[in-house]
Amino acid sequence: MLTELAPVGIVIADAQKRVLHLNQRFTDLFGYSIADMPSIEEWWPMAYPDPVIRKKVREDWTAQVETAKRNHSDIISYEAQVSCKDGSTRQIDFRATSNEELFFVIFTDITERCRLEKQLRMAHKMESVGRLAGGIAHDFNNMLGVIIGYSEMAIDKVKDDTELLEDLNEILAAGKRSREITKQLLAFARRQSIKPVSVDLNELVNSMLNMLRRLLGENINLTWLPQNGLWPVKLDPAQLDQMLANICINSRDAISGSGNIIIETSNAIFDSEYCFAHQGFVPGEFAMIAISDNGRGMSKEALKHIFEPFFTTKGMAAGTGMGLPTVYGIVKQNNGFINIYSELNRGSSVKIYLPRLVNETMPQSQPQKPAVKGNNELLLLAEDEPMLMKMTKMLLERLGYQVMAAGTPGRALEIARSEKGSIQLLITDIVMPEIDGIALSEQIKKIHPEIRTLFMSGYTSGMVTSNAIVKTGCHFIQKPFSIEEMARLIDKILNKPADQTD
Q: CA 501, CA 474: separation in Å to the nearest integer?
A: 7
Instruction: Say what the pLDDT of residue 222 is.
Output: 92
Q: Using CB atoms within 10 A of its CB, is residue 91 exposed (0-12), middle (13-18) or buried (19+)?
A: middle
Mean pLDDT, residues 72-84: 86
Q: CA 305, CA 312: separation in Å to the nearest integer?
A: 9
Instruction: Say what the pLDDT of residue 426 is.
Output: 95
Where does the pLDDT of residue 135 fall: very low under 50, low under 70, confident under 90, or very high at 90 and above? low
Strand-strand pairing, 452-457 and 347-355:
unpaired
Where does the pLDDT of residue 464 fall: very low under 50, low under 70, confident under 90, or very high at 90 and above? very low
Q: How far apart are the first and last CA of the chain?
A: 72
Where does the pLDDT of residue 318 fall: very low under 50, low under 70, confident under 90, or very high at 90 and above? very low
- Residue 468: pLDDT above 60? no
For residue 107, the cross-strand partners are: 9, 94
Please state, as a whole number, how many other Cβ atoms lie within 10 Å of the Cβ of residue 472: 16
Please give the residue that has the higher pLDDT: either 496 or 241. 241
In sequence order, which ranges of 80-230 are alpha helices (DSSP H)? Answer: 111-157, 162-188, 201-216
- Residue 379: pLDDT above 70? yes
pLDDT in tens, 141-172: 777 888 888 888 888 888 776 788 888 888 88
Instruction: Say what the pLDDT of residue 316 is.
Output: 41
Nearest partner of 270 among 295, 287, 291, judged by Cα: 287
Beta sheet of 102-109, edge-to-edge order: 19-22, 9-14, 102-109, 89-98, 76-83
Nearest partner of 98 among 130, 68, 75, 77, judged by Cα: 75
Kindly state the percentage of the chain with pLDDT values over 90: 24
Q: What is the mean pLDDT of the chain?
A: 81
Q: Which of 88-92, 199-203, 267-271, 418-422 has the highest mean pLDDT?
A: 199-203
Where does the pLDDT of residue 361 fall: very low under 50, low under 70, confident under 90, or very high at 90 and above? low
CATH no. for 378-494: 3.40.50.2300
Strand, helix or coil for residue 181? helix
Q: Is the dihedral of CA 305, 307, 313, 319 positive or negative?
A: negative
Instruction: Specify whether domain 197-355 bears CATH 3.30.565.10.
Output: yes
- Residue 376: pLDDT above 80? yes
Q: Is the dihedral of CA 77, 80, 83, 89 positive or negative?
A: positive
Instruction: Say what the pLDDT of residue 285 is.
Output: 92
Listed by start position, the domains of the chain span 2-109, 114-188, 197-355, 378-494
Mean pLDDT, residues 363-370: 49
- Residue 404: pLDDT above 90? yes
Fold of the 2-109 domain: Beta-Lactamase (3.30.450)
Nearest partner of 43 among 68, 26, 60, judged by Cα: 26
- Residue 499: pLDDT above 60? no
- Residue 133: pLDDT above 70? no
The distance between the two most distant Cα atoms of the chain, rounded to a whole number of Å, is 100
Where does the pLDDT of residue 470 fall: very low under 50, low under 70, confident under 90, or very high at 90 and above? very low
Please give the residue that has the higher pLDDT: either 118 or 64. 64
Where does the pLDDT of residue 277 fall: very low under 50, low under 70, confident under 90, or very high at 90 and above? low
Q: CA 116, CA 113: separation in Å to the nearest integer?
A: 5
- Residue 116: pLDDT above 70? yes
